[in-house]
Structure formats: structure tokens, C-alpha cells
Amino acid sequence: MLTPELMLTGYAKGIFPMAEARDTETLHWVDPQRRGIFELDNFHISRSLRQAVLRRNYTIRTNSAFMEVVQRCAARPETWINAPLFALYDEIHAMGHAHSLEVWQDGELTGGVFGISLGAAYFGESMFSARPDTSKIALAYLVDRLTQGGFRLFDTQFLTPHLASLGAVEIPRAEYRKRLAAALPLDADFTLPETPLPQLLMQRRSQTS
């Protein structure tokens, strides 16, 4: 049986668990040959994303509805998040190693992302968007939070076209493990005060103004 401690040990070794489907009870370890990551200084803010962020028709919160974010991420026709993973994420969140960043609009949770942190590594698990651009807004604030908090590695597990459009890239397994080993002994802090706007957005505005 997979325990929270064993799951975190797996992340520290560069592997992560997934289920074949929502209704299965078993989990299997995944160790991709090529790993998706965000270079924290290379997150791509398009003109449309910049405009969405600057509208400020939302509130950003962290860890205020962690399990609801997980549930919303799994609320799709096919998902790798099964009942055992729900329980594990809940326990790891209680241990202080799992975090959510949430977009709220009109009192409703409309977007978010969640992941696991160890040392200065953040392992992104999944995200959802109930309104246009809210998952992208969540990622922009997440990248800013990780940067300001001293994180060195933002793992996305796999590279999707959506993540690639935001600047994510693939690296070989050996390079990923090298970066992971460098990030794990370092200290980083996910629980920073909220910022009015992502600093990376403000910096890029000043560079182009």
C-alpha cells in the first residue's frame, strides 16, 4: 500500500504515481524518458494572458480549497486521479507538502493548479479552468510564487501543447534528475504573502514600456 511518506520518497527519486483510470484501485509508478518542466525565468506571457491578468476581475488564494481543486481537476471524462490518490493528496497537504493556487471570481472557484513541494522543487500535478484563461492566470501567479519563494525546479511531468504555449519544455530523464538532486537540499517557501500582480508580469511590462 502506498503511504504519503513512500509517495514523497518516490518524488525525491524522480518518479510519481498515477492510476489507469478513476475507477481503478491500483497505482503505478511513472518514470518518463523525457520530462516536462518550466524554466522559471522563461514563462511565456502572451498579450491575451497579460490582458487577462490585468483585468483583475479575480482573487488569488493559496491552499484555501486544496481538495476542491483536486476534485475539479479530476472532474473530466478521463482522469488518472483515483480514490487512493485523493486520499494521499489530502494527507500530503496536511503534512505541508501539497499546495494549491486558486482563482476565485464572484465567490466561485473558477481555476486552479495543485502540486507537491520538496525542498526547492515543485511538482505540478494538474490544473483546471472553469472560465476562459483562469488556468493560465493560475500558472502565471504560481510561477511568480515559485520564483519569489526560492524554488529552482518546476516539474510538469509531461509536456502538453497547452503547457508548451506557455514556455514549458522537455528535458531528458538524466538532466531532470540532475536538476532534481540540486533542488532537493535547498529551502524554498510556498507560503508567501499574496502579490497584487505577478512580478514577472510587471518586469516585462517595464521592459517593453
Rounded to the nearest angstrom, the gap between the alpha carbon of residue 70 and the centroid of all alpha carbons in its chain is 11
Q: Locate 208 and state its grid cell.
A: 517593453
The tens digit of pLDDT for each residue in 23-39 reads 999 999 999 999 999 99
Does the pLDDT of residue 20 top 50, yes or no?
yes
Q: Locate 150 and state its grid cell.
A: 526560492
The tens digit of pLDDT for each residue in 65-123 reads 999 999 999 999 999 999 999 999 999 999 999 999 999 999 999 999 999 999 999 99
Residues 6+ apart with CB under 8 A from 180: 12, 14, 121, 153, 155
User: What is this structure's pTM?
Assistant: 0.92
The class of domain 4-20+33-208 in CATH terms is alpha beta
